């Protein structure tokens, strides 16, 4: 397995970069919990001190600026759980992702996630508190936050896990420019980005408002504003992760001539009609939308959901769910199950189907004003991806183990000398 690894998700650390975890571990858990409680109380008091009409607008804007960052932090928290479970069930994710022996463990992932959560929560509390006192100072809070976090990612100094940041940025370049053979790490991170499509869309809208000076104002709420509901950039950003995976599949087909890659590319292509038709909501008459485009949107969502569900279960998880009842020791599953109970797999199949329906809502540009529902649907998609990771990495570890066994039977080399070609990945 060669190529860059998703180092922000699966990072490696150099000795100089260890300053970051050592500094963070000086803050005790109770102090962090106390700070969270204080921030929550101040935020609630600030919200309740505003009249009801203004409060709704303020909550919507606060949601847009801080919701995507909280969800990014949540993905990190869940990734830490993934790593802990892999270790408990002896799934060698280090070999699957081709990591070195200094990769970050789940405790360190949680530590990073906890501090991102604290930083975002503090900024949000400041924004809410200052909104009724000094609008200019309040507007500076999300701008400052959105400036600091990217700066920490690209900081060219040997602090804050510089090796991890470099590899993560390289992985992003490989995802957005798939000009080289696709590795497991490349498509794995790209798949996670597809689940974060709504988050990326909200980040674009928030950045747009900051760039045009619309923070802590109501001008952005007008439909025809630069950053309003009619913006063409919303569906474009929603489609971008799926376009990257589509191009990755075509690149993989070019390298391997495996027709499975074409069908995988088709799966990602079925997301484009859902996004495009939904965006037309703001550009056609209500009668045309209700009579023509809304049924087309629902049909497109159904096709994508069914296609994606099949691919999750049969291809990504390598389960025999669609092949009959008597093909393995466990009906509809497979013979080699690494997790403790086969009931876990049946539960995952059922929940994956249910959570897949949230996908259509999440990608629909015309369903974005009910921010509580949007948050719940996006969070459910992240949970679905969190669940997907368990079985996708398990499936890949089974393949790596079988390949190593076959290679060792042919040529008794050391395990470290038996790499898996990038072209053998099923992306």
For residue 423, name the pLDDT band (cuts at 50, 70, 90): very low
Say what percent of the chain tops pLDDT 70.
80
Q: How high is the pLDDT of residue 427?
A: 61
Tokens of residue 240, six digits: 């971008």
For residue 64, name the pLDDT band (cuts at 50, 70, 90): confident
- Cross-strand partners of 104: none
Q: How high is the pLDDT of residue 69?
A: 96
Q: How high is the pLDDT of residue 133?
A: 83
Residue 10 pLDDT greater than 70, yes or no: no
Nearby residues of 147 by Cβ (< 8 Å), 6 or more positions away: none
Average the pLDDT over 313-324 and give the result.
85
332 — phi, psi (to 5°)? 70, 0
Name the average pLDDT for the chain.
Answer: 82
Average the pLDDT over 314-330 and give the result.
78
Q: Which residue has the higher pLDDT, 333 or 216?
A: 333
Rounded distance between C-alpha atoms, residue 427 and residue 423, angstroms? 10
3-state secondary structure the chain: CCCCCCCCCCCECCCHHHHHHHHHCCCCHHHHHHHHHHHHHHHHHHHHCCCHHHHHHHHHHHHHHHHHHHHHHHHHHHHHHHHHHHHHCCCCHHHHCCCCCCECCHHHHHHHHHHHHHHHHHHHHHHHHHHCCCHHHHHHHHHHHHHHHHHHHHCCCCCCCHHHHHHHHHHHHHHHCCCCCCCHHHHHHHHHHHHCHHHHHHHHHHHHHHHCCCCCCCHHHCCCCCCCCCCCHHHHHHHHHHHHHHHHHHHHHHHHCCCHHHHHHHHHHCHHHHHHHHHHHHCCCHHHHHHHHHHHHHHHHHHHHHHHHHHHHHHHCCCCCCCCCCCCCCCCCCCCCCCCCHHHHHHHHHHHHHHHHHHHHHHCCCCCCCHHHHHHHHHHHHHHHHHHHHHHHHHHHHHHHHHHHHHHHHCCCCHHHCCCCHHHCCC
For residue 220, name the pLDDT band (cuts at 50, 70, 90): very low
Average the pLDDT over 75-99 and give the result.
92
Nearby residues of 265 by Cβ (< 8 Å), 6 or more positions away: 246, 249, 250, 253
pLDDT in tens, 404-422: 766 665 655 444 444 444 4
Q: How high is the pLDDT of residue 418?
A: 44
Quick one: residue 79, left, alpha or beta (phi over 0 = left, psi -120 to 50 = alpha)?
Answer: alpha
Rounded distance between C-alpha atoms, residue 114 and residue 107, angstroms? 10
pLDDT in tens, 270-305: 999 999 998 888 788 888 988 899 899 889 989 999
Vertex 122: Cα angle to 162 and 19 (nearest 5): 25
103 — phi, psi (to 5°)? -65, 155
> Looking at the whole model, is its pTM more than 0.75?
yes
8 Å CB contact between 164 and 14 = no
For residue 351, give the DSSP letter.
H
Counting every residue written for the chain, the total comes to 427
12 — phi, psi (to 5°)? -120, 155
Q: How high is the pLDDT of residue 3?
A: 41
Q: How high is the pLDDT of residue 396?
A: 93
């Amino acid at each position: 397995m060669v190529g860059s690894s998703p180092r922000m998700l699966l990072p490696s650390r150099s000795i100089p970069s260890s300053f970051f975890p050592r500094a963070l571990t000086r803050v005790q858990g109770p102090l962090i919990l106390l700070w969270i409680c204080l921030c929550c109380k101040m935020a609630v008091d600030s919200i309740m001190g505003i009249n009801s009409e203004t409060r709704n607008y303020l909550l919507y804007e606060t949601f847009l600026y801080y919701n995507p960052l909280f969800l990014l932090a949540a993905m990190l928290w869940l990734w830490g759980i993934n790593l802990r479970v892999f270790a408990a069930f002896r799934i060698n994710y280090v070999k699957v992702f081709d990591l070195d022996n200094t990769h970050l463990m789940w405790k360190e992932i949680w530590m990073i996630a906890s501090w991102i959560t604290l930083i975002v929560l503090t900024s949000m509390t400041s924004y809410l508190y200052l909104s009724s006192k000094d609008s200019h100072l309040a507007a500076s809070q999300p701008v400052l936050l959105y400036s600091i976090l990217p700066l920490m990612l690209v900081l060219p100094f040997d602090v804050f896990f510089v090796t991890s940041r470099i590899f993560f940025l390289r992985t992003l370049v490989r995802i957005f420019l798939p000009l080289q053979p696709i590795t497991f790490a490349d498509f794995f991170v790209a798949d996670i980005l597809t689940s974060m499509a709504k988050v990326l869309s909200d980040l674009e809208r928030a950045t747009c408002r900051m760039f045009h000076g619309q923070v802590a104002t109501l001008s952005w709420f007008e439909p025809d504003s630069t950053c309003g509901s009619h913006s063409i950039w919303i569906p474009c950003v929603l489609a971008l992760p799926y376009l990257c995976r589509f191009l990755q599949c075509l690149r993989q087909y070019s390298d391997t001539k495996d027709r499975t890659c074409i069908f995988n590319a088709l799966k990602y292509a079925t997301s484009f009609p859902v996004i495009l038709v939904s965006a037309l909501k703001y550009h056609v008459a209500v009668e045309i939308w209700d009579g023509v485009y809304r049924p087309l949107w629902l049909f497109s969502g159904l096709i994508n959901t069914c296609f994606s569900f099949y691919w999750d279960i049969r291809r990504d998880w390598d389960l025999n769910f669609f092949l009959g009842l008597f093909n393995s020791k466990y009906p509809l599953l497979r013979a080699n199950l690494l997790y403790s109970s086969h009931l876990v797999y049946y539960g995952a199949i059922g929940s994956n189907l249910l959570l897949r329906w949230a996908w259509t809502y999440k990608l629909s540009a015309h369903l974005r004003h009910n921010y509580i529902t949007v948050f719940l649907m996006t969070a459910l998609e992240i949970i679905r991806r969190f669940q997907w990771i368990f079985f996708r990495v398990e499936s890949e570890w089974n393949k790596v183990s079988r390949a190593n066994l076959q290679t060792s039977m042919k040529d008794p080399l050391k395990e470290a000398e038996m790499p898996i070609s990038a072209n053998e990945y099923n992306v």
